[in-house]
Amino acid sequence: MDNDIELISDGDGIAVIGEPAAVDLFLTSHGLLSKELSLQRLRPILGNAAAAAQAGSEIAASSSRWVKLTKDSVQKMNEIGVMKGSSNGLSRGVIQGKSGQIKGIVEFAKGPGSLLANPAILAGAAGIMAQLAMQQAMDEITDYLAAIDEKVDDLLRGQKDAVLADMIGVDFVIKEAMTVRAQVGRVSEVTWSKVQGTSMTVARTQAYALRQLDALAEKMETKANTGDLAKTAKEAEAKVQEWLAVLARCFQLQDGLAVLELDRVLDASPEELNQHRLALKVARKSRLEMIARTTESLMARMDAAANAASAKVLLHPVSARAVVDSSNHVAAGVIDFHGRLGLERSREAVESKRWAVAAGEARDKVVETGAGGVGAAGRLGTETFNRARSTSDKLAIKLADRALRRREGNKEHDEEATK
C-alpha cells in the first residue's frame, strides 16, 4: 500500500486505513479525532485462498481508524475531496502519501493491490463502521440520561408498569450480551439466542412512550380555562422529560441490538452483511422519523397553548406566564433530546408578554385619536371591565376606565369650545 491512505465514508463516519505512521500523520495534520476500527475481526471470513491470505497480511500490517462525521469533520473531508463509490452507499477514495490529494476511486476491478478491492473486506469494514457509529450514539444517550434529573432513573428503576418493567429486563440482557461480545470478540449462537427475541419488547415500550406523549399533548388541548391550562402544563413538564428518557433508553437498546445483529450476520452470512447494514440503517431512520413526528407535534400543541395563554395575559398574568414557561421548558428538553439522537431541529421560544406591556398595548389602543378612537375606547373599556370583573382584575378596570374618562372629558371640552 506504500504511503497511500484509503478512505471509506458511509454517511455516518469515515474509515481511514493505511500504514500506521501515515494514518497517524493524516489524522493529526487534519485535527481529526478517531477510534480504533478493528479489521482483524474480518480475517475469518476471507478463507484460505492466496488472495485472501494476502488481504489478511495487509490487514495485519495496516492501521484502521474511524472518524465520526460532525460538521467540523465533514468540512475537512470535503476539503480533501472524498469521492463517490458505485452503488453500495459508500464513498471511497485513496489519499496519495506525499501530496495528500485524492489519487483515485478504489474499485473492485483494481485487483489485490488495494486492501478495499476485496468485496468481503469492504462490506465487513462498512459493517464495523456502522457498529462504531451506533456505539457512539449509545454513549451519547448514556450521557444524556446521566445529565437529566435523577428522578428519571428512579422512574425507570421503580416502574410497576409491566411494559416498562419488561424494557428494564431487556436492558440487563443486552448489557450482558455486549459484555460477553467485548470479552470474546464475537457474538456466538448462545449469546444471540438470549437477545434475539427482545426487539419486540423494546418496540412495544417505544410505542407506549409515544402514546403517553400524545396523551399529554391532547390533554393540553382540552383545557380552555387559563388556570387549568397552567396546572396541566406544569404537570407536563416532568412527565414529558420522563417519557423522553424512556424513548432515549429504547433507542439505545435498539442500537445495541443492531450492533449484536451485525456481528451475528458477519459470522453466519458474511455475504449478506452489506445489505443487512443498509436495511438496519433504513429501519433506524424510520424510528427517528416516528419519534420526531410525535415530539414535534407535542411542541406544536404546547406552543399553541402558550400562544393562547399569552393572548389572555392582561386578565391572567400569573397563569399565562406559567403556561409559557412550561412550554419553553418542555421545548428545551425536546430539542436537547433531538440533539442526542442526531435529529436536527430548532424552535423559537414563545415570548411571554409581560403584564405591563400587555396593559400598555391596551391603553394605547384606548387613547387612539379620532371619533373612531372614541368608539373603540368605549368598546374596549366595556369589554375590559366585564372581563376584568369576572377575574377581580382591578388594575385592568382602572386603566380602561381612566382612559375612557379622559377621552369623554376631551370630547365634552371640544363641544363647549364649539358653542
With a CB cutoff of 8 Å and minimum separation 6, the contacts of 325 are 352
- Burial of 335: CB neighbours in 10 Å, binned 0-12, 13-18, 19+: middle
Q: Are 306 and 263 in contact (CB under 8 A)?
A: no
Distance CA 175, CA 195 (A): 10
For 382-401, what is the HEC assignment?
Answer: HHHHHHHHHHCCHHHHHHHH
Cell of 369: 385619536
Judged on CB neighbours under 10 Å (0-12, 13-18, 19+), 96 is middle
Locate 58 and state its grid cell. 495487509
Side-chain half-sphere exposure of 11, counting CA atoms within 13 A = 11
Mean pLDDT, residues 55-75: 75
pLDDT class of 415 with cuts at 50, 70, 90 = low
Tell me the average pLDDT across 34-48: 75
Where do the domains of the chain lie? 5-119, 148-341, 355-418
Residue 286 has pLDDT above 90, yes or no: yes
Three-state secondary-structure class, residue 13: strand
Instruction: Determine the Cα–Cα distance for residues 351 and 368; give it in Å rounded to an integer.
Output: 26
Whether the pLDDT of residue 21 is over 90: the answer is no
> Residues 66-93: pLDDT tens digits?
988 887 777 766 666 654 555 456 766 6
Query: Quick one: pLDDT band at residue 383, thresholds 50, 70, 90?
Result: very low
SS3 96: coil
Q: How confident is the model at residue 153 (pLDDT cuts 50, 70, 90)?
A: low
Confidence of residue 37 (pLDDT cuts 50, 70, 90): confident
What is the rounded average pLDDT for all residues in the chain? Answer: 74
The Cα-based distances of 261 to 2, 72, 120, 167, 222 in angstroms read 35, 31, 18, 18, 44
- Rama region for 185: left / alpha / beta (φ>0; ψ in -120 to 50; rest): left
Indicate whether 409 pLDDT > 70: no
CA separation (Å) from 151 to 155, 170, 172, 250, 290?
6, 21, 20, 18, 26
Report the distance separating Cα 198 and Cα 173, nearest Å.
9
Q: How far apart are CA 111 and CA 255, in angstroms?
A: 35
Return the amino acid letter for 48. Answer: N
- Around 305, how many Cα atoms within 13 Å sit in the side-chain half-sphere? 37
Q: Which three cell numbers stand for residue 18?
A: 493505511
**Residue 345: what pLDDT?**
56
Distance CA 256, CA 268 (A): 19
Q: In whole angstroms, what is the distance from residue 415 CA to residue 267 CA? A: 98
DSSP, collapsed to helix, strand or coil, labels residue 89 as coil
The stretch 28-52 carries a mean pLDDT of: 73
Cα(181)–Cα(5) distance, integer angstroms: 30
Query: Regarding predicted confidence, which is higher, 338 or 371?
Result: 338
What whole-number distance in Å separates Cα of residue 247 and Cα of residue 274? Answer: 28
Higher pLDDT, 151 or 167: 167
The better pLDDT of the pair 253, 105 is held by 253
pLDDT at 50 over 90: no
> How much is the pTM?
0.72
Please enumerate in sequence order all residues whose Cβ is within 8 A of that of 42, keeping only pairs 6 or more positions apart, or say none: 59, 120, 121, 124, 125, 128, 266
